[in-house]
Structure 1
């Protein structure tokens, strides 16, 4: 029985897997044998469609019946599955359920207000007789605290005057203002009343405006109750303060201006000047004293009249000389309660400023380049800083001594500083001495000579030339090009012989000389004549001039050459030091005047400056042609 069952199992496997493939292959063979010989081999490539007659006999082909089988029992199926190797578990087979962090909160819902738009009363406005509505004040200005009040206006809900002349309408004024400044009332239309002041509403004043109840409109409607409001303009505010945050003489004038007119006699009583914890006596400055002080005189003329006050401190005997203590911080305070000449309001808080009187002249420090400079270069400017301004009228360069000597030395004062320029040596310590006779603008001298030291470090590596992208060589000297460098051991020099027609290509290359993108750079025009390394004279921390001989790139000393120079040693990967110049060696100088219609060229002798005759001038490029003029006879 078991053998029979095994044979049946093998036959079933054969029928279900192997036989269908065999049948399919036979069917394909049959179709191939009966397929017409007219194929698509000679048809062009692409999507093609062909319609042909069906194959005869396809409907009579033998169909294989499905084999009869019996299903396996559960035990028999289990025995078969036991033959399969067990599945080995691997790490990570079992994981926690991938539950998301959380559900996002539901969006907040708004409150729907069922309102029709437009409103029914807008769609069907009621026919209301405006003349029967009570009179109202619709708007008014100014109100509250304002910085400035140029005018006053009030608008009513109904016409207040008939359409008539301004003179007649202005006689109807249903508004009361207390206090009322100089000005005129006028109507803007029939509903708005405006008060135009002569200049503006006075400052430091509180104004009360009242439209009394019972006021009637032109339609004979009545205001039911009083409409009252106020507005206030500010008390005096300090605008200009002199001297502020300055170092001054001990008899300096003080100047204060305000944003409104003041009574100088009353204001000076509220001003206090203090120093060293003591209040100093003051008095108003005279007109002669004001005119002798250029700063105070200038502001007194520019500020509006009656808005400023000038004053000064005095000694116990009433004199002004040295009335302010020396080397002291001076504080000027305009105390609260300061009055205005325009209104009754006074200031509610103090306003102050300060300055300092001069100290004995003292040297403070020596600076190279700028304060905090970590490395003083030989090419940086020095300056000596003092606490007071130097008197330039009595200053001479001989007051400053420097050891060791500085070449091309230039010394000059400016403000609180003495500036020193010149060629210094690197890695050298300089000693500077300033003579004790140095004076400041207050007539003081140094108590003793001032000394300072400046340590000059190494000069930064540099390489440059003069003349820009094109130079004309000196016609009276040997054709050579000067390169200036500091702490450079050598440079790589390439010379290209070029013609004037190469100028445009030179410009294109120069325009892209430092491009870092993937754009293909144009080639350097011309013919490479020389590519060599030129050694530079070894002078540490000094600027060295190196002359590059150009004779080999010229024709008998004349022509054009592109000079390409780079240092052999770079400071870092960002160093782009490079000299790329077009040099021309000629005895002819060219110049031109150009307008929208013509170009007039001039040729002169570079050595003498005289006009040259027989010179052929041409313009290139002009399209693809070279436009030439007859030989010049100038």
Structure 2
């Protein structure tokens, strides 16, 4: 009995070898004839394209705020992927420095050597385009223009107030502008009264950045006055011939005569209990001066926030304190208060307010929903402002 088991162990490696050799011997698999050769661009004949050969996308078009890339996409392939490319059947007028590059088999993209000049109109023409299947394309044209000159930021901001007489005007454009173009298109003058023009000198805050200019008035601006900066629609930049096409106007105001207002939080002459009174000024003053200028009759102790710095300037003061319900108070801002421009409050401001009564209320001091009839209990009651 031991011998057969030994023979089986010896035969096992042989059987394994026979199985491995059998796997390498050609079997009865079906033969398939070759249908093509693998090579670049050798996918075989392209499937017939449906639809007419056409430009399916051409960008950009129209007047632009920003300049995206210039590209054209066709409905059929115009080049194979074997490395050979036909000359791009497209031209741009005027022709900037750069080249048309193929993107895949159906698209062209213009790669400029530097950014396209601003304020310039371009026309792109596709002529003589031929797809791989021999279809031809009628001439195709599209046009666009790069951004016209315009103001992108200005200081002072539109309708700014409280400016000093030595204020200057700073303008930033979206493209370079020269001094002659600015002088021809930009003006500064009064926006009220006689609308007199203001003579100014032109300054460059940064000589390397020709988009920025500063208008420096040759004489101090009048106080208590409105001014207007106007950029005419004829403005031109240095890169292209297109004008701005639209004017830009914004106003600003020098500081006004010092005035003050008083109001309650309810915006009327009756203040809600617990609310305060607000003092507002049109020009900043030192906080400590404003506190001394305010008088409340009858006297009320005001809770001044501890974090406030009395030496700082402010145009706002909040009066919060023990204003009693049902009482009438008069708040005064005395004349002589001086603002940061050296002006004083010419007249006293006084306003009377009534603090409303507390709302009617009635409370029963009972908890639970059952009272035993034999039990004697004291029930606390409280009432406020009930008839």
- TM-score (norm. length: structure 1): 0.45
Equivalent runs, 1:167-182 vs 2, <5 Å: 169=85, 172-182=87-97
Deviation at 1:453, TM superposition (A): 2.5
1:380 is the counterpart of 2:275: yes
Q: Distance in 2 between matches of 1:136 and 1:377?
A: 74
Q: What is the deviation of 1:361?
A: 1.3
Correspondence for 1:416: 315
Indicate the residue corresponding to 1:311 in structure 2. Answer: 215
Question: Aligned to 1:395, what secondary structure does the other structure show?
Answer: helix
Look up the match of 2:225: 328
- Whether 2:303 is the aligned partner of 1:404: answer no
In structure 1, runs of 5+ residues without a counterpart are 1-127, 288-299, 316-322, 462-486, 497-521, 535-566, 573-634
User: How many residue pairs get matched?
Assistant: 327
The Cα of 1:359 is off from its aligned counterpart by 1.6
Alpha carbons of 1:164 and 1:256: their partners in 2 closer, same or farther (altered >3 Å)? farther
Q: 1:530/1:183 Cα in 2 relative to 1: closer, same or farther (>3 Å)? A: farther
* Alignment check: 8 A CA contact 2:329 2:352 kept: yes
Are 2:337 and 1:337 aligned?
Answer: no
- Equivalent residues of 2:60, 2:68 under 8 A apart: no
Pair 341,228 (structure 1): closer, same or farther in 2 beyond 3 Å? same
1:568 CA drift (Å): 4.3
- Among 360, 379, 383, the residue aligned to 1:532: 379
Match of 2:36 in 1: none
- The answer to whether the Cα contact below 8 Å between 2:262 and 2:278 also exists between their aligned partners in 1 is yes
Match of 1:395 in 2: 289
- More helix as a share of residues: 1
1:66-94 deviation digits (Å, cap 9, x = unpaired): xxxxxxxxxxxxxxxxxxxxxxxxxxxxx
Q: Which deviations, in whole Å up to 9, do the C-alpha atoms of 1:236-256 show, x marking residues without a partner?
A: 232323222121212222222
What are the within-5 Å matches in structure 2 for residues 3-14 of structure 1? none
Equivalent of residue 234 in structure 1, options 122, 144, 147: 147
Partner of 2:325: 426
> How far apart are residue 269 of structure 1 and its match?
3.5
Matched, 1:208 2:208: no
Q: Distance in 1 between matches of 2:352 and 2:202?
A: 49
User: Which among 440, 445, 457 is matched to residue 339 of structure 2?
Assistant: 440
Map residues 446-595 of structure 1 onto 2, 5 A cutoff.
Answer: 446-448=345-347, 450-461=348-359, 491-494=363-366, 531-534=378-381, 568=383
Aligned counterpart in structure 1 of residue 61 of structure 2, from 123, 136, 143: 143
Deviating 4+ runs (over 6 angstroms): 128-131, 411-414, 569-572
- C-alpha distance in 2 between matches for 1:198 and 1:460: 77
Give the whole-Å Cα distance in 2 for the aligned partners of 1:416 and 1:234: 42
Q: Quick check: 1:143–1:229 contact (8 Å CA) kept in 2? A: yes
Specify the structure having the higher radius of gyration (Cα): 1
SS in 1 for 2:258: coil
Contact 2:58–2:142 at 8 Å: present in 1 too? no
Matching residue of 2:106: 191
Matches of 1:151 and 1:145, distance apart in 2: 14
Secondary structure of the corresponding residue to residue 366 of structure 2? strand
Query: What displacement does 1:351 show?
Result: 1.0
SS at match of 1:267: helix
| Aligned residue runs from structure 1 range 214-253, under 5 A | 215-217=129-131, 222-223=136-137, 225-243=138-156, 244-247=158-161, 248-253=163-168
Q: State the shift of 1:360 in Å.
A: 1.9
Residue 368 (structure 1) aligned with residue 240 (structure 2) = no
TM-superposed CA distance for 1:405, in Å, is 0.8
Q: How far is 1:396 from its partner?
A: 5.5
How far apart in 2 are the matches of 1:436 and 1:385? 15
- In the TM superposition, residue 160 of structure 1 has moved relative to its aligned partner by 2.8
Corresponding residue for residue 272 of structure 1:
187
What pairs up with 1:597-616 in 2 under 5 angstroms? none
TM-score, normalised with respect to structure 2: 0.71
SS of 1:398 mapped into structure 2: helix
Q: How well do the aligned residues superpose, as a CA RMSD in angstroms?
A: 3.7
TM superposition shift of 1:216: 4.8
Equivalent of 1:154, from 56, 72, 93? 72
State the 1:344 CA deviation.
1.5
Shift of 1:423: 0.8
- Aligned-partner Cα distance in 2 for 1:570–1:435: 36
1:175, distance to aligned residue in structure 2 (A): 0.8
Larger RCO of the pair (alpha carbons < 8 Å, separation 6+): 2
The alpha-carbon deviation at position 136 of structure 1 amounts to 5.0
- Structure 2, unpaired ranges of 5+: 1-45
Distance 1:422 1:157 in 2: 78
